[in-house]
Amino acid sequence: MFRRPIQLILALLMTLSAGAGCVTEPAHIIHAVAQPPGAYHIHLPGIGGYRSIDRLLLRGLQDGGLDAEFEPYDWTGNDPGLSALLTTQRHKVESTKVAGMIEQNVRDHPGAKLTVSAHSGGAGIIVWALEQTPADVMVDDIVLLSPALSPRYDLTAALRHVRGHVYVFYSPYDVAVLGVGTNMFGTIDGVKTDAAGKVGFARPVSADARQYEKLVQVPYDSDWIRLGNIGDHIGSLSRPFGRVIVAPLLLTGKLPKLPTSEALKTPATLPSGAPSTPPAEHATTTAAAPILTQ
C-alpha cells in the first residue's frame, strides 16, 4: 500500500534535484574574454546532471564580474538521478577524475586563481577529489550550494587543499530533497539524515579545528527571494543570485548586502514541513566555523 507514496516521493526528488522544466545539456568550457585566462572556475552539478539551471549559475557568475574560464564537469555521465546518488563506485571513479583535473590545472597554470562551485551531490565529488590531490595542490575558494553531504562528514583532509575558504550555502527550507529525500535514500556519503545543505556542517570531535576555520557557513536569507532564491534545493542556482551574491563573495570574500526593501521574514510559500524560521544556530554552533550573515 506504500507503493504509490514512494513513487510520488521519487518523482519529487528527481524533479527538484534536476530542476523542473530543465533539460540536460552537454557540459563544455565557457571561455572568458581574456586569453589566456588568469583564473579558472570548475563547476560540479548535482545528481540531476549538468542542466540549464547550472548554466544559469555560471552566467550569473560571469555577470557578477568573475572573469575566468569556466569548466563545468558532469560527473553523472549518462545516468543521472538516484543511480548517481547511490553508486559509490562511480563516486570513486569520478572524484579521481576531478582530482586529476584540478592537479593538471594547477600544474599547467601556476599562479592562476582556481575556484570551484558544487551543487548538492557535487559537493561530495569535490570533497573526495581534494582528499586525493597531492599535498602541494591547492584551490583558492570553493562554494558548496545545498551540499548533499552528511553534516558531520569530516572535511579536514579536503580543507587542507583550500587556500582561502569553503563557503557553504544551506537552507532549512530545503525539506523535500535534503530532508525527506536524504533521510529516505541517504546523503551522497551514504548517511540517512538531514543533509548539510539543510542544517549546515558540524565539526566532528576528531576534525582539525584549525582547518575548519576555513569553513564559512551562510544560512538562507529570506531577502534572497528577490534574486529568485526561495530557499529550496535549486534556488541558489538562479542567475541573479549568482550575479549578486556568489560572484562578489568569490571575488571579495564578503557577503553582499542587498539594498533595503520591504522586510521579507520568510518565503511567501514554503515546502511542506519547513520551519517558519531557520533553526537557531542549528549544527553550526558545534562546527566552530564562522557564520556569514549580511
Q: Put the strands of the sheet holding 39-44 in their side by side order.
A: 69-72, 39-44, 113-119, 141-145, 166-170, 215-219
Identify the pLDDT of residue 188.
98
pLDDT at 78: 84
**Domain boundaries, given as residue ranges, for the chain:** 3-18+39-287
The number of beta carbons lying within 10 Å of the beta carbon of residue 23 is: 9
- Angle at which helix 122-132 crosses helix 88-108, to 10 degrees, equals 60
Pairing of strands 166-170, 141-145: parallel
Cell output for 187: 546523503
pLDDT at 51: 95
C-alpha cell at 92: 570513486
Assign 3-state DSSP to the chain and report helix, strand, coil percentages, each to 5.
40, 15, 50
Going by C-alpha positions, the residue among 179, 129, 118, 128 that lies closest to residue 151 is: 179
Rg (alpha carbons) of the chain, rounded to whole number: 18
List per-block mean pLDDT (blocks of 10 residues) for the chain, which spans 294 residues. Answer: 48 48 49 63 97 97 97 94 94 98 96 97 98 97 98 98 98 98 98 98 97 98 97 98 98 91 47 42 44 56
Reduced to 3 states (helix: H, G, I; strand: E, B; else coil), residue 40 is strand
Question: Which phi-psi region, left, alpha or beta, contains residue 227 (left: φ > 0; alpha: ψ -120 to 50)?
Answer: alpha
Whole-number Å distance between alpha carbons of 43 and 13: 21
Q: Say how far apart CA 22 and CA 17 lie, in whole Å.
A: 10
The predicted pLDDT at position 215 comes to 98
Q: Does domain 3-18+39-287 have CATH number 3.40.50.300?
A: no
pLDDT at 259: 83
Question: How far, in Å, CA of 209 to CA of 203, rounded?
Answer: 8
Strands of the chain (E only): list them.
39-44, 69-72, 113-119, 141-145, 166-170, 215-219
pLDDT at 281: 38
Alpha-carbon distance of 245 to 166, in angstroms, equals 15
Q: CB–CB of 255/293 below 8 Å?
A: yes
pTM score, whole prediction: 0.82
Residue 45 in grid coordinates: 552539478
Q: Give Cβ neighbours of residue 280 (< 8 Å, ≥ 6 apart).
A: none
Alpha-carbon gap, residue 256 to 248, rounded angstroms: 7
